[in-house]
Amino acid sequence: MESALCSHCQRNQAFYRRQYEGVSLCKGCFKASVEKKVRRTIGNWKMFAPDDHIAVAVSGGKDSVTMLMILARLSTRFPRTKITAVTVDEGIAGYREEAVELASNYCRELGVRHEVISFKEIYGHGLDDFLREKRGRLTACAYCGVFRRKAINLAARKVGATKIATAHNLDDMLQTYMLNLLEGAVDRFVRFSPVLQDPRGRFLTRVKPLCEIPEREVALYGFSEGLRFQSASCPYMTEALRNELRSIFNRLEIAHPGVLFSSYKAMLKLRDLAKSGVPPSALESCQSCGEPTSSKICEACRMVGVTSERLEVTV
Ligand code: SF4
Ligand code: ZN
Ligand code: ZN
């Protein structure tokens, strides 16, 4: 909290010091500046067309609930734009119930249609049951991420959406670029972007409208709106390397304000420079479920035991 006046309006008391710009902002100017940044990101990356139907992936966490609120607000200027919130119930006992309820309540308040889809209805079992029976050696998050991606695609298509919006913030973007580099996954590094589009237009475009908003500002926006977020943590949370990167970048940003944004911009430039050395991913339809994949069978189908040999026998 600041006792100084807001650097923008010079009228109200400042409530947040944005170190990386050297300004202090009152609540109103802070929220307006976040919304303006999101609008600019959407415009710069041409994320939406005026008549898009946007499926907003809402987990019930702070980022996704805040994104839903911002997009719902921005969409009031575009009468032909439609928004539907999509929530995936992974089937994690004691964790997901609260988030689904929170998401439903906010959708009701905002007057946004809410579609809930569960792992159980798609894959025949929730994540808890799957992990009890699985034979694989991947982490829970690796399975969950792949299953959820497909679930969001299915839900978005079911509601007739033309785009999918996910709530990756600036910190998430930077962590993902760094993780891909640290894991030596140069192809994934190059393909990760604020806009993921199938050049042949067969699969829904995924966009990240909060990609330039630091995590703490997303949380502060939600907090200043009085939003309530999920309190329980996922019992499977294991992403050790990502968590280490998060705390390293947090420390760096405190010591050197602006470093998050400048390194994110550098990642985008490096990605552009490296593009010509990495062939574009030739996305095909999975032979089992029709979802996008770079091989015959998508990862989600492979994880539940579908193989191309088995398909050939059953077809
Ligand atoms: Fe899924 Fe991992 Fe997130 Fe839990 S922490 S919801 S297992 S991705
Ligand atoms: Zn102000
Ligand atoms: Zn598949």
SS3 string, 85-141, reads EEEEECCCCCCHHHHHHHHHHHHHHHCCEEEEEEHHHHHCCCHHHHHHHCCCCCCHH
Cα gap 133→154, rounded to integer Å: 24
In eight-state DSSP terms, residue 183 is: T
- Cα of 139 from ligand 1 centre, angstroms: 10
* Residue among 58, 131, 176, 236 whose CB has most ligand 1 atoms within 8 A, to mutate: 236
User: Average pLDDT in the 249-263 region?
Assistant: 96
The yes-or-no verdict on residue 200 having pLDDT over 60 is yes
Cα gap 50→313, rounded to integer Å: 46
pLDDT value of residue 135: 61
Q: Give yes or no for residue 234 CB within 6 A of ligand 1.
A: yes
User: Could you tell me what percent of the chain has a pLDDT over 90?
Assistant: 70
pLDDT value of residue 309: 63
Instruction: Provide the b/e sequence for 170-185 (b: ≥16 CB within 10 Å).
Output: bbbbbbbbbbbeeeee
Q: What are phi and psi of 83, to 5 degrees?
A: -125, 135
pTM of the predicted model over 0.85: yes
Q: Give yes or no for residue 25 CB within 6 A of ligand 1.
A: no
* Strand, helix or coil for residue 83: strand
* Residue among 59, 64, 90, 131 whose CB has most ligand 1 atoms within 8 A, to mutate: 90
User: Residues with Cβ < 8 Å from 292, sequence gap 6 or more?
Assistant: 153, 198, 202, 203, 283, 284, 285, 286, 298
Tell me the pLDDT tens digit for each residue of 88-111. 999 999 888 888 999 999 999 999
Cβ 222 vs Cβ 32: under 8 Å: no
Calculate the average pLDDT of the chain: 91
Tell me the pLDDT tens digit for each residue of 271-310. 999 988 888 777 888 899 988 888 899 989 998 888 766 5
Q: What are phi and psi of 46, to 5 degrees?
A: 45, 50
Tell me the pLDDT tens digit for each residue of 156-167. 999 999 999 999
Tokens encoding 69 = 């609120």
